[in-house]
A and B are shown apart, each in its own frame.
Chain A
Amino acid sequence: MECSEARDLLLEVSSGTTPPDARRALRSHLEGCPACRREAETVENMSALLRTAPEPRLSEGHWADFMTALDRRLDAERHQPWPRVLRWVRNPVHAWSTAAATSAVVVALGIALLTNPTPRQIALTQDAPVQAFMTERMVGAMPAMDASLAVWKASLGASEDPYDLSGGE
């Protein structure tokens, strides 16, 4: 084992439980390497020092209060319908039923769209009471629109009815 490898392993071995073979390999390296042995001593003292930090102490009755508060929160969660529905849907146990229900909805929507007639088009006529909404600028632009309309109608072979700019007055 190389010194760099031994020093990598040293930290792992001294900071917690490690497989016995790693520990054995490190020990045999340390036997023949005074420099790594000195390093091992420092690292082990450091780890020992870290373990002197005390475990947190809890007051009596802490866990009873904890469980009561947790139960209360879980109970509140149980009474909210949407999280329950989402959890049910996300549960892998319900994956097939969720997939089947989703497919059924998609197929039903598809059939509904394919079988229903297309929505009736609303025909715009010149009698439509749009005059009330026309501004002066719109009326000013009408001659140009009229010319465009005439070209468009001619290309479609439509009749050349005069366009009433006065709005039928």
Chain B
Amino acid sequence: MSTAEDLALVEAFKRGEESAFTALVIKYRETVYRIARRMVHSHEDASDVAQEVFIRVHRALPRFAARAQLRTWLYRITVNFCLDFNSRRSRDVLTGLKELIWEPSPHDNPVEIAEQRELGEVVARAIDALPPRQRAMVVLRVYQDVPYADIGRIMGCAEGTVKATMFAAFAKLRKSLAPYVGAVQKRGTDGASEHGVL
């Protein structure tokens, strides 16, 4: 995602070209929705959050300063809105979790599908059980691959705080997911080799 392209679109919007805003929405709508979907508890809520985020972006974009990264700014609006949204709503951990399960392809092995379904549900539930700020940081890091420094900017805290919070979140996840870690090891998921050092 190019920063220069984002800035060009922002400048065009400031000059009054409404189509530049549409281009920004098309570029970022999926990412905004995915962050929201992992932070709120149903598809409908995530879709509403994404709508509201872009309404706020539309209002605030004329004041957007070019020194900040649009992506970081957009993620900050999304995360803050999700945190507000969750604090306003009573938590219903199980709502919508089933929607996060993979749709099987006809060629998949039914046993593997069942295992994958169960694993996905367990992971989603473990992340959902984290305190809101820890959940936000895990979502940004693990699923959006946002660097620690940027997570600090998004969450309004120092990089050291991000490290400490991630450490605490992983300690909790490690505890709740301990029986399932071996399953991934056996399956040889490529996630470890993609980001790992071993």
Looking at B55, B119, B147, B192, the one whose CB has the most chain A CB atoms below 10 A away is B192
**Partner pick for A55 among B34, B54, B63, B127, CB 8 A cutoff:** B34
Interface stretch among B1-9, B77-85, B86-94, B137-145? B137-145
Task: Give the contacts of B31-56 with A (CB-CB under 8 A).
Answer: 33-34, 37-38, 43, 46-47, 50-51, 54-55
| Distance from B145 Cβ to chain A, minimum over Cβ atoms (Å) | 4
Chain B positions within 8 Å of A26 at CB level: 197
B29 CB within 8 Å of chain A: yes
**Partner pick for A10 among B37, B101, B197, CB 8 A cutoff:** B197
A50 CB within 8 Å of chain B: yes
In whole angstroms, what is the CA distance A70 to B57 when docked? 12
Chain A positions within 8 Å of B25 at CB level: 67, 70
A146 CB within 8 Å of chain B: no
**Partner pick for A73 among B29, B51, B103, B173, CB 8 A cutoff:** B51
Q: Is the interface of A mostly helix, strand, loop or mixed?
A: helix
A contact residues, total (Cβ < 8 Å): 49
> Judging by beta carbons under 8 Å apart, are A90 and B198 in contact?
no
B109 CB within 8 Å of chain A: no
Instruction: Sort chain B's interface into a size bin.
Output: 35 or more
**Partner pick for A27 among B127, B147, B197, CB 8 A cutoff:** B197
> Judging by beta carbons under 8 Å apart, are B100 and A93 in contact?
no
Given A10-B197, A52-B120, A52-B123, does the pair A44, B192 have CB atoms closer than 8 Å? Answer: yes
> Judging by beta carbons under 8 Å apart, are B167 and A74 in contact?
no
Task: Give the contacts of A64-95 with B (CB-CB under 8 A).
Answer: 66-67, 69-70, 73-74, 77, 83, 87, 90-93
For B48, give the chain A residue with the smallest CB separation.
A69
What 0/1 pattern do residues 1 to 22 of A give for CB contact below 8 A with B? 0000000101111111110000
Given A40-B198, A49-B119, does the pair A56, B33 have CB atoms closer than 8 Å? Answer: yes
Task: Give the contacts of B170-198 with A (CB-CB under 8 A).
Answer: 170, 173-174, 177, 180-185, 189-192, 195-198
**Partner pick for A87 among B59, B120, B196, CB 8 A cutoff:** B59
Looking at A10, A26, A27, A54, the one whose CB has the most chain B CB atoms below 10 A away is A54
> Judging by beta carbons under 8 Å apart, are B34 and A56 in contact?
yes
In whole angstroms, what is the CA distance A137 to B142 when docked? 80
Chain A positions within 8 Å of B22 at CB level: 67
Chain A positions within 8 Å of B58 at CB level: 74, 77
| Distance from A56 Cβ to chain B, minimum over Cβ atoms (Å) | 4
> Judging by beta carbons under 8 Å apart, are A16 and B145 in contact?
yes
> Judging by beta carbons under 8 Å apart, are A45 and B29 in contact?
no
B124 CB within 8 Å of chain A: yes
**Partner pick for B100 among A41, A42, A56, A90, CB 8 A cutoff:** A56
B10 CB within 8 Å of chain A: no
Chain A positions within 8 Å of B163 at CB level: 8, 11-12
B17 CB within 8 Å of chain A: no
Q: Which 7 A-B pairs have the closest CB atoms?
A: A48-B191, A51-B191, A53-B123, A54-B102, A91-B62, A48-B192, A44-B192
Given contacts A13-B195, A15-B142, A48-B184, 12 further A-B contacts (CB under 8 A): A13-B196, A15-B170, A16-B147, A43-B170, A46-B173, A49-B123, A49-B191, A53-B127, A66-B51, A70-B55, A77-B55, A91-B14
